[in-house]
């Protein structure tokens, strides 16, 4: 009943189990994307709190409170970065049932575990991303009267977000691959599905060949899409010089032209220095 | 007339390193005060203290008679009235030229975007950068960046504008375009404090010159007094380096 050739068996498995594999891949992608998203939100929250500057002398009480919160958040980051996600999954899934009598559904547990895990990693990336922005940006913002909150929101975080886009992409790809450890708590994602299929006919090699390819296609597409997104965020390489009445939007825009640009500059310097 | 800014016994130490010692001076409306002195004498630190980017160790800074170092004062509100232009421009990399000039007006002064746009365009035209409103800072030359930074500071319509070596990071051919803008502002009566190493420029624009050495004000007076008849031997020695 099972075809003799390797390719024949592959085709047979695809034919027979194509839909379950697609379903499994779908579950994997949903968990990876949703958890990367929530992980980023957690990461930004933690990273922002970790970088709040407070003057100990001016606001001793707030300072103390903030330090306490920061310490807790550091503990969270260290614990979740420092233990394997598979162990965390077992610990949380069975711990919730044993200690708090909470029976998490497979989905809740999966989303919860991968999100807080990603959050722990993203927290460090965001903190690094915020600290890597030149102090001059903060000073420029302060000098026009922005508060710390406004400076963060309009100046620092947009730049930090752009800088850590590669890490967000990295986390998404890691999540696509690492959801397979959720099979220990019974999440029916791509790996779990494949193991089931492989076991039915003892076609381990063929089944996992298919799954290798699927995983690779998923991660490859994601990394390309993210790269496109990064380019989009960088905006156009050129800009348009607005030569005519600049108060009327949309009129008199010319494409940026290196030569004209230079001429304009020279002319400008000439007239300005003429006054000296 | 009450000075806009009055500094009394201002001191600043970084750890045990005392950078400013017992500084006293006043800035009146319309004054163009140039601060000159050797590298490391504390000029930048003084300006940064005035804009509260550094917290002074002791002393007071009175803004219209109100000590801004008091606990109750809001540094952001104060900074909106005292602008600063930096040596390294500090334009926001994530915004276009126009957005750089508008953001303070819309978010800090809560002006409506159309009004903010008109004001931003007015000052960008003034510094000759109106054609570049769509450019990002990284696409501009140093001189152009500094002109935008000046427009951004002017758009807040500050009472006092502080300049910390506005031309030190520029190629020689771009220094002129920035200095001539500052000179125009001086003619219009804008109150400014300028840290500079451009002595000819300082001589030409300032109504008041402060010479600093080792964290103290060695000598101050009119441009004529300081540049043509310096009394203090350190001032004479410092200026003689430029006349050669
Ligand atoms: N954040 C800081 N921490 C420690 N020391 C500092 C700090 N900022 C400045 N200093 C010290 O304060 C002194 C004065 O520095 P400041 O930048 O005010 O000098 P300056 O007169 O502006 O010099 P320049 O003409 O080179 O810009 C220097 O000795 C410097 O090392
Ligand atoms: Mg300096």
Query: Is A61 part of any domain?
Result: yes
Q: Which ligand 1 atom lies nearest to the CA of residue B46? A: 18
The shortest CB-CB distance from B177 to any of A136, A162, A268 is to A268
Whether residue A161 is contained in a domain is answered as yes
Domain assignment of residue A267, yes or no: no
Can you tell me the mean pLDDT for A205-227?
A: 91
Mean per-residue pLDDT, B98-126 = 95
3-state class (DSSP) for residue B237? helix
B186 vs A: CB within 8 A? no
Alpha-carbon distance B177 to nearest alpha carbon in chain A (angstroms): 6
Determine the Cα–Cα distance for residues B102 and B155; give it in Å rounded to an integer: 8
pLDDT of B158-186, one tens digit each? Answer: 999 999 999 998 888 889 889 999 999 99
> Would residue A162 count as lying in a domain?
yes
**CA B206 to CA B191: how far, in whole Å?**
10
Report if residue A269 sits inside a domain: no
A255 touches chain B (CB under 8 A): no
Using CA positions, which residue lies closest to atom 7 of ligand 1?
B14
Q: Is B171 near chain A, with CB under 8 Å?
A: no
- Whichever domain contains A44, its CATH number is 1.10.3720.10
Residue A97 lies in a domain: yes
B217 confidence band (pLDDT: 50, 70, 90): very high
Work out whether strand B160-164 and strand B208-213 pair parallel, antiparallel, or are unpaired. Answer: unpaired
A273 belongs to a structural domain: no
Give the domain range for residue A115: 6-241
**Per-residue DSSP letter, B53:** S
Q: How many domains does the structure of chain A reveal?
A: 1
Q: Which of A24-28, A264-268, B76-80, B158-162 has the lowest mean pLDDT?
A: A264-268
pLDDT greater than 50 at residue A248 = no
CA distances to A190, A216, A255 from A8, in Å: 22, 22, 58
Interval between CA B172 and ligand 1 midpoint (Å):
24
- Is the shortest distance between the CB of B45 and ligand 1 below 6 Å? yes
| CB-CB neighbours of A80 under 10 Å | 18
Whether A1 maps to a domain, the answer reads no
pLDDT-based confidence at residue B71 (cuts at 50, 70, 90):
confident
Structure tokens at A55: 């003057």
d(CA A146, CA A155): 10
pLDDT band for position A243 (cuts 50, 70, 90):
low
Count of CB atoms within 10 A of residue B44's CB?
A: 19
* CA-nearest residue, atom 4 of ligand 1: B14
List the single residue in B78, B128, B156 with the smallest CB-CB distance to A268: B128
Number of Cβ pairs < 8 A linking chain A and chain B? 116
The backbone torsions φ and ψ at residue B20, rounded to the nearest 5 degrees and listed phi first, read -125, 135
Q: Is the CB of B241 under 6 A from ligand 1?
A: no
Q: Which residue has the tokens 């075809």?
A: A3
Predicted confidence at residue B244, as pLDDT, reads: 55
Q: Does A55 touch chain B (CB under 8 A)?
A: yes
Q: Which ligand is nearest to the CA of B163?
A: 2
pTM: 0.84
Residue nearest to atom 17 of ligand 1 (CA): B44
B80 dihedral zone (left: phi>0; alpha: psi -120 to 50; beta) = alpha
Inter-chain residue contact A264 with B156, CB threshold 8 Å: no
Average pLDDT of chain A to the nearest whole number: 84
**Residue B146 contacts by C-beta under 8 Å, 6 or more apart in sequence?**
B85, B89, B166, B167, B169, B170, B174, B178
Tell the residue nearest (CA) to atom 3 of ligand 1: B14
Predicted local confidence at residue A244, as pLDDT? 53
Distance (Å, whole) CA B82 – CA B80: 6
């Amino acid at each position: 009943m099972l075809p003799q050739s390797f390719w024949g068996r592959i085709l047979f498995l695809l034919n027979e189990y194509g839909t379950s594999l697609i379903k499994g891949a779908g579950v994997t992608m949903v968990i990876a994307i949703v958890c990367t998203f929530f992980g980023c939100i957690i990461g930004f929250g933690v990273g922002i709190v970790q970088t709040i500057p407070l003057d100990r002398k001016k606001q001793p009480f707030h300072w103390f409170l903030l330090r306490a919160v920061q310490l807790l958040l550091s503990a969270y980051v260290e614990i979740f970065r420092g233990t394997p996600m598979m162990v965390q999954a077992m610990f949380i899934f069975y711990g919730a049932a044993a200690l708090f009598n909470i029976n998490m559904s497979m989905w809740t547990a999966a989303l919860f575990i991968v999100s807080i895990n990603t959050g722990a990693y993203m927290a460090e990336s965001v903190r690094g991303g915020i600290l890597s922005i030149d102090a001059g940006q903060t000073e420029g913002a302060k000098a026009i009267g922005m508060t710390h909150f406004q400076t963060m929101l309009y100046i620092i975080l947009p730049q930090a977000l752009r800088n850590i886009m590669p890490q967000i992409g990295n986390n998404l790809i890691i999540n696509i691959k690492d959801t397979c450890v959720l099979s220990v708590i019974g999440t029916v994602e791509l790996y779990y599905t494949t193991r089931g299929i492989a076991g039915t006919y003892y076609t381990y090699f063929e089944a996992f060949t298919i799954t290798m390819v699927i995983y690779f296609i998923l991660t490859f597409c994601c990394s390309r899409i993210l790269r496109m997104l990064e380019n989009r965020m960088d905006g156009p390489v050129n800009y348009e010089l607005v030569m005519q009445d600049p108060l009327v939007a949309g009129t008199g825009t010319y494409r940026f032209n290196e030569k004209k640009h230079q001429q304009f500059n020279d002319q400008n310097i000439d007239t300005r220095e003429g006054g000296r | 007339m009450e000075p806009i800014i009055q500094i009394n016994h201002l001191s600043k130490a970084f750890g045990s390193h005392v950078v400013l010692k017992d500084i006293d001076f006043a800035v009146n409306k319309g004054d163009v005060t140039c601060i000159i002195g050797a590298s490391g004498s504390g000029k930048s630190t003084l300006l940064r203290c005035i804009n509260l980017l550094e917290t002074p160790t002791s002393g007071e800074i009175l803004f219209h008679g109100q000590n801004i170092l008091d606990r109750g004062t809001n540094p952001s509100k104060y900074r909106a009235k005292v602008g600063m232009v930096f040596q390294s421009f500090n334009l926001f990399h994530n915004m276009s030229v126009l957005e750089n000039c508008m953001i303070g007006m819309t978010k800090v002064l809560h002006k409506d975007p159309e009004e903010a746009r008109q004001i931003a365009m007015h000052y960008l035209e003034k510094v000759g950068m109106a054609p570049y409103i769509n450019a990002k800072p990284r696409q501009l030359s140093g001189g152009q960046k500094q002109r935008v930074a000046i427009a951004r500071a002017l758009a807040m319509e500050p009472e006092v504008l502080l300049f910390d070596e506005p031309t030190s990071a520029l190629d020689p051919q771009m220094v002129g375009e920035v200095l001539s803008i500052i000179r125009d502002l001086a003619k219009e009566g804008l109150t400014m404090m300028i840290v500079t190493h451009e002595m000819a420029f300082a001589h030409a624009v300032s109504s008041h010159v402060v010479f600093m050495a080792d964290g103290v004000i060695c000598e101050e007076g009119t441009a004529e007094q300081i540049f043509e008849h310096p009394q203090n031997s350190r001032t004479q020695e410092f200026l003689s380096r430029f006349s050669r």
